[in-house]
Chains A and B, each alone.
Chain A
Amino acid sequence: MKAFPLPGFFARWMLASAILCFAAQATCAARTIRVDRGGAVPSVAAALRLAAPGDDIVIAAGRYEEGGLDVLCRVTIRGEGNPMVTARGRGGVFIVRANGVSIRDLAVGETGRSDIEDRAAIKLVGVRDCIIERVTVRDAFFGLYLSKSARCTIRDCVITRRATNESSSGNGIHSWSGDSLLIENNRIEGHRDGIYLEFTKHTFVIGNTSIGNVRYGLHFMFSDDNTYERNVFTRNGSGVAVMYTHRVHMRGNVFSRNWGGAAYGLLLKEITDSEIEDNLFEGNTTGLYAEGGARILVRDNVFRGNGWAVRLMANCTDNTFTRNAFLRNTFDVSTNSTSSSSAFRENHWEAYRGYDLDRDGIGDVPYRPVRVFSYIVAKNPPAIVLLNSFIVGLLDVTERVLPTITPIALSDARPLMQPPRGRRP
């Protein structure tokens, strides 16, 4: 069998296998088809031609140089001894076009890059109830690509590539126009965006690790009602950026070491009615950046060792920051406005110098987290060259005693003396 049939032939066997699938559905019970390089069925393509809905395709260990494999009926494709299916740089590997397909325990990849098509190791097109589990994706342009797919699960996959710039790679896990997906315990490294969701709703993204991606660890737009829990986003080129979305829930994630001129732990743009809870922001240039956010509840997070812990632009309204801990950040809160409609209450500020006479754990003097210098810098960026200088220290002290420039409204009237004990593990 030629690895890449000509288009005409390709179309014919697609049609034939579709008919076969349909016919088989009516007649046979589920079978197991074994793919083995020396056996009766030597290629995955041959197995897929033979397959009827409900069949198992078991791929024996070895390297299968095949690509453009259309999965057109409901089968389970499973590897034994970790076989590798590779397109040898000439295109996508699996394209799933049937509902209920599961792919497990194998390695796929080496799609090569393309500027014309979205090559993916596994592409799901307009399907439901598919499962991709324990799949290793090596050096694919897009790792797992879901298009108009719903109720699918991606679990325990490892997706790696060594992208050097944004155009040399696609995204690790990419979903366009999806619904009710579960993306769980995957590891994505070295792609453009680790996880990219667009128009993808009611989705759970849980326990994933997204490291060293060229652009964002996690990136979503117009993806309402999603939940992100216990993920780790670290050392990504620009951190995590999420935009134009309502009702986002982010809990227990780690945003760390996203360091660089345009890097953010978490960048929120036009996010509304959302909750950000129990997360750790550590060692980022900017921990949390919010632009145009409204009604966001930021609760029980830890901001530690960031350049800017929180940067809140003037167009953010009605956000609440409570029970967060701000530790060892160069700037705790920065804003470019003298008024603020966001509320800070009962946070712990390491830089707080107040006292607690009645010993109820809450400081008796309000804390103003915006240093006058951070305000000056927000207004006049080159002034940052005065960082660490004597005059800036003096200005901060005077302003703390008698605030005249910094937004008085932006203050925490009930600062916690001790960091709150969060529900974080």
Chain B
Amino acid sequence: MIGMLFRSQLRNVLRSRWVYVHAGFFAVLGETLYQAGGSAAGMQVAMMNIVLIVLPLIAIVYGAIYVHGAREFYEVLAAQPVRRRDIFVSSYIVVGGALAGCYILGAGIPLAVHAETCADVASAAMLVAAGALLTLVFTAVAFAVAIGIHDRARAIGAALMLWFYFSLLYDGIVLYLFYALSDYPAEPFALAFTFLNPVDLARIALTMQFDVSALMGYTGAVFEQLFGTGLGLAAAFAALLLWAGVPFLIAQRLFTRRDF
């Protein structure tokens, strides 16, 4: 049964042009950045900046639109002898998987083609992995929001607000706190705040890959101690997975209890 759910939704998703546009966008972006910058490292840094802003936005908006677009489909299915959890899980995996897969394919090709050294390959792999995880995180957030809010316009508005919060507002608040608490040692606090925002977590884990920790002085050394080790990186990725898992569970709970 769940297999059939997968197949029909996947066909549905792949029929829409947007996933191909998504893949094409990152492929063209990567190639353009390489042509403009001329080095693999430069391309990766520039790509990181764009990925961190664009990827959450696409995932959250597409996820919210998908859930609301599939509303009648869900209603029909909910009337059938199908477990609601199966409907939810299959539709999350299809949307998150399609977006993440397209990103991996689209960004992966130029990154792989232009990687020159082992360090390039490692940081490219990190960039792809972090991007894919961010996609999963924001798809889950989008599902939670779209299932929780019945009105389509309000749901998309709320999704955009969340994107705005994670990408911009949160860092603004942090910057304010740095000033407000400038008399205290801020590093432990800075470390903690990183883990409370998936975008920041991905950004710092990636930034550390590009050997800029030396630039970051004492704070950089503190971060390097964490993210420079395999264990620290694993912790960062585990935290990202947790960031996908928690909204996923909330969304699932909302979905199974929702009165369609």
Chain A interface (Cβ within 8 Å of chain B)?
259-261, 263, 285, 307-308, 330, 376, 380-394
Q: Is the CB of B203 within 8 A of A388?
A: yes
Question: For the complex, what is the distance from the CA of A390 to the CA of B52, rounded to whole Å?
Answer: 8
Question: For the complex, what is the distance from the CA of A56 to the CA of B204, rounded to whole Å?
Answer: 66
Question: For the complex, what is the distance from the CA of A394 to the CA of B167, rounded to whole Å?
Answer: 11
Question: For the complex, what is the distance from the CA of A285 to the CA of B217, rounded to whole Å?
Answer: 10
Q: Which residues of B contact A382 (CB under 8 A)?
A: 178, 186-187, 190, 219
Question: For the complex, what is the distance from the CA of A259 to the CA of B49, rounded to whole Å?
Answer: 23
Question: For the complex, what is the distance from the CA of A391 to the CA of B171, rounded to whole Å?
Answer: 7
Interface centre among B52, B167, B212 (most CB of A within 10 A): B212
Q: Is the CB of A391 within 8 A of B48?
A: no
Choice from B194, B200, B220 contacting A384 with Cβ under 8 Å: B220
**What are 23 A-B pairs at a CB distance below 8 A?**
A259-B211, A259-B214, A260-B214, A261-B221, A263-B214, A307-B212, A307-B214, A376-B175, A381-B217, A382-B178, A383-B175, A384-B215, A384-B216, A384-B219, A385-B190, A385-B219, A386-B171, A387-B215, A388-B45, A388-B48, A388-B49, A388-B207, A390-B53
Q: Which residues of A contact B218 (CB under 8 A)?
A: 261, 381
Q: Is the CB of B175 within 8 A of A386?
A: yes
Q: Is the CB of A285 within 8 A of B194?
A: no
Q: Which residues of A contact B175 (CB under 8 A)?
A: 376, 383, 386, 391
Question: For the complex, what is the distance from the CA of A261 to the CA of B216, rounded to whole Å?
Answer: 8
9 closest pairs, A vs B, by CB?
A382-B186, A307-B215, A391-B171, A384-B216, A382-B219, A285-B214, A383-B178, A389-B171, A385-B190
Question: For the complex, what is the distance from the CA of A380 to the CA of B167, rounded to whole Å?
Answer: 21
Question: For the complex, what is the distance from the CA of A259 to the CA of B210, rounded to whole Å?
Answer: 13
- Whether B223 is near chain A, meaning CB under 8 Å from some CB there, is yes
Contact A389:B203 (CB < 8 A) given known A261-B217, A383-B175, A384-B216: yes
Minimum CB distance partner of A328 in chain B = B42
Choice from A330, A390, A391, A394 contacting B212 with Cβ under 8 Å: A330
Question: For the complex, what is the distance from the CA of A240 to the CA of B171, rounded to whole Å?
Answer: 36
Choice from A285, A380, A391 contacting B172 with Cβ under 8 Å: A391
Question: For the complex, what is the distance from the CA of A271 to the CA of B128, rounded to whole Å?
Answer: 48
With A387-B207, A388-B48 given, name 16 new contacts (CB 8 A): A261-B213, A261-B214, A261-B217, A330-B215, A380-B178, A380-B179, A383-B178, A384-B219, A384-B220, A386-B174, A387-B212, A387-B215, A388-B203, A389-B171, A390-B171, A391-B175
Question: For the complex, what is the distance from the CA of A383 to the CA of B186, rounded to whole Å?
Answer: 9
B189 to chain A, nearest CB (A): 8
Q: Which residues of B contact A330 (CB under 8 A)?
A: 212, 215
A351 to chain B, nearest CB (A): 14
B39 to chain A, nearest CB (A): 10
Q: Is the CB of A385 within 8 A of B53?
A: no
Question: For the complex, what is the distance from the CA of A138 to the CA of B203, rounded to whole Å?
Answer: 47
Minimum CB distance partner of A391 in chain B = B171
Contact A390:B167 (CB < 8 A) given known A382-B190, A385-B194: yes
Q: Which residues of A contact B182 (CB under 8 A)?
A: 380
- Whether B168 is near chain A, meaning CB under 8 Å from some CB there, is yes
Question: For the complex, what is the distance from the CA of A380 to the CA of B204, rounded to whole Å?
Answer: 18
Q: Is the CB of A384 within 8 A of B217?
A: yes
Interface centre among A330, A386, A389 (most CB of B within 10 A): A389
Q: Is the CB of A308 within 8 A of B172?
A: no
Q: Which residues of A contact B178 (CB under 8 A)?
A: 380, 382-383
Question: For the complex, what is the distance from the CA of A31 to the CA of B33, rounded to whole Å?
Answer: 72
Q: Which of B238-256 contact A (CB under 8 A)?
A: none
B131 to chain A, nearest CB (A): 14
Choice from A263, A385, A393 contacting B204 with Cβ under 8 Å: A385
Could you give, for residues 162-199 of chain B, a 1 whenever the CB lies within 8 Å of some chain A CB and a 0 otherwise? 00000110011011001100100011001000100000
Minimum CB distance partner of A286 in chain B = B215
Choice from B53, B179, B219 contacting A381 with Cβ under 8 Å: B219
Q: Which residues of A contact B186 (CB under 8 A)?
A: 382
Q: Which residues of B contact A393 (CB under 8 A)?
A: 49
A276 to chain B, nearest CB (A): 22
Q: Which of B148-172 contact A (CB under 8 A)?
A: 167-168, 171-172
Question: For the complex, what is the distance from the CA of A323 to the CA of B219, rounded to whole Å?
Answer: 34
Q: Is the CB of B168 within 8 A of A394?
A: yes
Interface centre among A260, A330, A380, A393 (most CB of B within 10 A): A380
B208 to chain A, nearest CB (A): 11
Question: For the complex, what is the distance from the CA of A57 to the CA of B49, rounded to whole Å?
Answer: 67
B48 to chain A, nearest CB (A): 7
Question: For the complex, what is the distance from the CA of A382 to the CA of B191, rounded to whole Å?
Answer: 10
Interface centre among B203, B204, B216 (most CB of A within 10 A): B216
Minimum CB distance partner of B37 in chain A = A328
Q: Which residues of B contact A386 (CB under 8 A)?
A: 171, 174-175
Q: Which residues of A contact B211 (CB under 8 A)?
A: 259
Question: For the complex, what is the distance from the CA of A384 to the CA of B213, rounded to whole Å?
Answer: 10
Question: For the complex, what is the distance from the CA of A375 to the CA of B45, rounded to whole Å?
Answer: 22
Minimum CB distance partner of B200 in chain A = A389
Interface centre among A259, A308, A380, A383 (most CB of B within 10 A): A383
